[in-house]
Amino acid sequence: MEIVILDDAQAIGRLAADQVCTLLARKPDAVLGLATGSSPLPVYDELVRRHQAGEVTFGQARAFTLDEYVGLAAGHPERYRNVIDREFTGRVDLDPSRVAGPDGLARDVPAACAAYERAITDAGGVDLQILGIGTDGHIAFNEPGSSLASRTRIKTLTHQTRVDNARFFGGDVDAVPTHCLTQGLATIMAARHVLLVATGQGKAQAVHELAEGAVSALWPATVLQHHPHVSILVDEAAASRLQLVGYYRETYLAKPAWQGL
Ligand code: F6R
């Protein structure tokens, strides 16, 4: 697990975009794992900018989103499949048929979740998974108490997550769905490289637990301590509760240029 502390969200966006571009240069048909929410937006904006500048193409890439609210109508602006299209995939040359998400309107939920797992596997697995983290330590919508071995399934959102996400629903917490379909922690752990971005004081405790806390279902992101290739990009505020912050800075400064993330 590598922790990189950067000045601001834009610097995080640039470094994360570097990783995506390096991957696509090596493997044009790479499989990207995409998070929604605010944290990855600077990454997506930077990738769109580079795409418009002719520096990167997504023409052969594929993408899988992490999660989806249950019950939001197909045209709802906050349905994650629509959000990712608006924020990223619809702004680059990624064919919509090559972007998939869990089906939050499925009648047979277990079958839809199993089909999503199969689709990821059939695509060869996720090469690079972009993640955010919730204030309660969730990744995707694996809320505290999630099985560390979980796969795509239905989950109940915590009240805290619904309060956090009410800003996308006009501030109305009751408008935030109570349930979601989400990739499980084991699904995320199968990605070959995990790149987690977090900014702001509100994420400081979760980032500390993720990197330095005991591995526990209480802080689901801690499962990433068992992953061999995780990069955590944070700003100063999100890094403010890290115990070994000096060591992380020294390590990154002294890193050989050839190594990348
Ligand atoms: C969204 C997702 C969530 C968010 C998390 C942080 O697809 O999987 O885990 O990454 O809730 O959200 P933001 O970035 O909005 O603070």
188: left (phi over 0), alpha (psi -120 to 50) or beta: alpha
Is residue 143 annotated as a catalytic residue, yes or no? yes
* Residue whose CB lies within 8 A of the most ligand 1 atoms, among 36, 65, 143, 165, for a mutation test: 36
CA of 174 to the centre of ligand 1 (A): 18
Element (H, E) at 68: strand 67-69
Give the global pTM. 0.97
- Domains (ranges, CATH) in the chain? 2-255 (3.40.50.1360)
Distance CA 114, CA 183 (A): 10
CA of 35 to the centre of ligand 1 (A): 7
pLDDT value, residue 169: 96
List pLDDT tens digits, range 69-126. Answer: 999 999 999 999 999 999 999 999 999 999 999 999 999 999 999 999 999 999 999 9
CA of 244 to the centre of ligand 1 (A): 25
| Residue 140 in contact with ligand 1 by CB distance below 6 A | yes
